[in-house]
Amino acid sequence: MLQTQRLILRRWKSSDYKPFAQINADAEVMKYFPAVLSKQESNQLIERIENHHQMHQFGLWAVEEKTTSAFIGFVGLNVPSFSAHFTPTVEIGWRLARPFWGQGYATEGAKAAINYGFEVVKLPSIVSFTSQLNLRSIAVMQRLGMTYNPAWDFDHPRLPSGHPLQRHVLYRVTRYS
């Protein structure tokens, strides 16, 4: 479990399934993903996240707001399961319920996860990527102090050629940057 001033990043609980399914069914939250997720797909995602935690000793943590104990989404570290010019690697990612957008939670949680990745896991670098259209997530990457180089951009291999979300930007932070 990790804690920040306003957040608790923890392993997943059975009570997270329903609110996480609601987040994944929100078209605005999932705007930069190929599709919203069904309840079953959302539940399977939690199972994959938990399996990742067991395999790597880190992962995408469920996020609670400290003052209300409300589940608000996830933030954490993940090993991408596709091949690209920058893999193998560890990425930082986040997905929060819309009412919690614009309050700095993604940045706050991601800073704690990056610190964990560098100080505990001893990762040499961490990346983050998203569709070039996802300006909100790109802004978080910039607030995290991640470096961008247009030469790192890539076409996501899980999206078909010509898909509007196919082109992705890649940001990176190194342990000693």
Residues 24-57: tens digit of each pLDDT: 999 999 999 999 999 999 999 999 999 999 999 9
What's the total number of domains in the chain?
1
- Residue 19: how many CB atoms within 10 A of its CB? 16
Q: pTM of the full predicted structure? A: 0.93
Q: Which of 23, 164, 36, 43 is nearest to 101 (CA)?
A: 23
Residues 90 and 117 sit within 8 Å (Cβ to Cβ): yes
What's the CA gap between 99 and 91, in Å, rounded?
25
Residue 119 lies in a domain: yes
Residue 112 lies in a domain: yes
Residue 71 lies in a domain: yes
Residue 141 lies in a domain: no
Residue 116 lies in a domain: yes
- Helix ranges (DSSP H) in the chain: 17-24, 39-56, 105-119, 135-143
Residue with tokens 């700095």: 104
Residue 159 lies in a domain: no
Residue 151 lies in a domain: no
**For position 69, which CATH number holds?**
3.40.630.30
Residue 34 lies in a domain: yes
**The pLDDT of residue 67:** 96
| Domain, as residue range, for 13 | 2-124
Q: Which of 94, 10, 88 is nearest to 50 (CA)?
A: 10
